[in-house]
Structure 1
Amino acid sequence: MRSIRETLHVIFAYSEIPLLSVPKDASFADVKAAYHRVLLQSHPDKQSGGTSSSTNLVDIALIKEAYAVLSNDERRAVYDSLLSQRTYTTTPPRPAQVISLEEFEDEAMGNIEEDREGGPWRYPCRCGGSYSITTELMDKGEHLIACNSCSEVVWVGYEIMES
């Protein structure tokens, strides 16, 4: 039998979204109803063609583990604690789009110029904020740049030219 922490890490590793999709303050009855609903939706016999696949079996095992955690007060408290401490250091953010550095504007000069150094260069985000990249970030090889107003991340395409 796995420990609570091992179980939760397995659930986290295979699922970026809550398996049972219940709110944090869901009652036991809500958790049980969600468990039955999701279990029926994921059961191999309910899949098109009636074929059993290892993917479905893994999903069912995770659903059962999620229910075991959320239906037990002690395990649920540990789950809530780990969820609040969860960081995404193992998986980098996925960029929304790839943007060439040539599309960025120099903060002081307008459009980027070939010989201009320093920056920062900015590109508008759809939220109204902006992405900003500097020579220092490029020297470090940083390509993933976050918006200063929302959680959106873009990949900035550039090549470092040796002088």
Structure 2
Amino acid sequence: MDSSPQGSLPLLPSHYVVLAISPTLLTSAANPTSLLKQAYHRALLHNHPDKDRKRAEAACAYTIDQISAAYRTLSDPTARSAYDAALRLSNNPAVIGGSGIEGDPDAVFRTGVESVDLDDLNYDENSATWSRTCRCGNEKGFTFGELDLEEASEVSELVVGCSDCSLWLRVYFAVLEA
């Protein structure tokens, strides 16, 4: 069944989604090169099947080719500008303004993403993980730990994929300095 708009090819995740980085944050960062490198390394580790046994059981969300292409494009200011323009000019209603999120270049490819606050998730003290039930029925479909939050602390948001399906959860959190 083709769920893409107007019978077109399925949309691929944007480079921003692949690197789990906000275009607004990237634009406003004092050192976007460092931020991109961190996002690139985080994406490689997060999607490497040998780095986390839980994630190895499920298919990795993105390939090394997708992650590398995202990094190459977003780290080159000229290529990034052209990429952002292409996202804005796509025929997706979200970009045109149909869903009220015009101007968010990475919103184009956001089907199946729900945004929540960290406080809305269940915390398991025994395993030191946060989790949330997914619509697919997996009671701990979205699960992550403190290390995941630390890696995403600069952007104060974490994008987590369900371990059983293609849905995603964007978790917003505040970083408290001790």
Q: Same fold (TM over 0.5)?
A: no
TM-score (structure 2 length as normaliser) = 0.36
* TM-score, normalising length: structure 1: 0.39
